[in-house]
Each structure stands twice: as structure tokens, then as C-alpha cells.
Chain A
Amino acid sequence: DSGVTQTPKHLITATGQRVTLRCSPRSGDLSVYWYQQSLDQGLQFLIQYYNGEERAKGNILERFSAQQFPDLHSELNLSSLELGDSALYFCASRRSLNTEAFFGQGTRLTVV
């Protein structure tokens, strides 16, 4: 158990819908990363927050947004869902730049 909690574990939804994925980082970790993993693309970096502020952005679509709350949990919002958004979404947390990133077990999103 990495200490990073992601909910829900599985999500099935229809095209055009909006979903929210939640991540609770390890206790004491200020930094949260979001990644998308599909079969042919590996782990694609989406966005990173540190203590509530956005610090780095990857190839995140405009239909996707995220935030980190004062209690340090983070949410990834995916809207106007398309079939191609079906993937595993991982959250990772770390204490600082010189420490390791620990991953949650992921949310498997299926868009039908």
C-alpha cells in the first residue's frame, strides 16, 4: 500500500458526460501529480500541484481540469467525455523534489 488513495477504482460512463476523479496523497506529501495511461501511450503526464498551486502542466486537454484543495486532496475533472478518454488515471504524491513519487492504484475510466 503506497498510502495514496484514489477513488473510484472503476468508472463507466457515457460519451458527453462529466466525471470527477479523486486523489488523497500520502500524509505529509504536498505535491500531487496526475497521469493518464492508455495501452499505446504509456504514462502521460497531465498536471502537477504543490500545496494548492499548479506547478507543471503536460498534455492535458482543455476538457480536463484539476485542482488541489487546502486539505491537499486533489480532483481531476473530465468533461465532454469521448471514447478515446477511456484509460487508467493515476495520481502520485511526493514530499519534495528530492523524494520519491508514490502512485495510487488508479481509476479505470471506461467511456461507452
Chain B
Amino acid sequence: GQQLNQSPQSMFIQEGEDVSMNCTSSSIFNTWLWYKQDPGEGPVLLIALYKAGELTSNGRLTAQFGITRKDSFLNISASIPSDVGIYFCAGQGGQSSGGSNYKLTFGKGTLLTVNP
């Protein structure tokens, strides 16, 4: 099935550093979403992107919907210890969904560790 390539798989950073992660796909999506998952919890939505080229911020988080509709990135500025977790990108709709606009396809996640 369709997969998103999310990178990096893991990151170890110092508190205060900026972080960048991205997702790419061989097919286009109509929507890109970024989620964060804490241990033992369900994924929580961070940012939703609905238009190609869109740049959206949510506090220290910034995400962009690539102009080709095949990629998206998430930046976290001035990281803090509570940013630790797994970050997932997800794409919806477009050619990649086998004709279905409803399916959400997830990347494999980026594990972020922040050293205080």
C-alpha cells in the first residue's frame, strides 16, 4: 500500500535546539497532518495543512505543505523536554489513496529525545 517516507527515524537534541523533520511521498496528497504521540497515548493533532504551499504555525511549531503536494515538513523551535515523543506525518486524499479521499496514511514516525 501507499507509504510515506518520514525522516529522520530518530533525533537526539539538546534543550533549546531547533528540530526539523519531513515526509515525502511518490504520489500527491490533498491534506497533510502532523501528530505527536506520547507513550501509552493516542496521537494528538499538532497542525493540519489543506493547501499546497501553505505554511502554518502553532506556537513553536511550523509546518509547510509542499508546493508539489508530495511533501511536508515540521519544524520545532527552541525545543523543551516536553517535546519528547513520536511525531507522525499523515497524508489524505489525492492519487495515493486508491481513489478514496477518506483514507489517512501515516509515516513511520520520528522519535524525538530532548536532553535537558
Contacts and interface: CB of A to CB of B under 8 A. Distances in A.
Contacts of A50: 102
Contacts of A90: 42-43
A101 B45 CA distance: 8
B47 to A, nearest CB: 9
B92 interface: yes
Main secondary structure of the interface of A (DSSP, over half): strand
Given A42-B88, A42-B108, A101-B90, 14 more contacts: A41-B108, A43-B88, A43-B106, A45-B105, A56-B100, A58-B1, A90-B42, A100-B45, A101-B33, A103-B42, A103-B44, A105-B42, A106-B41, A106-B42
Interface of A: 2, 4, 31, 33, 35, 41-45, 48, 50, 55-56, 58-59, 90, 92, 97-98, 100-106
B66 interface: no
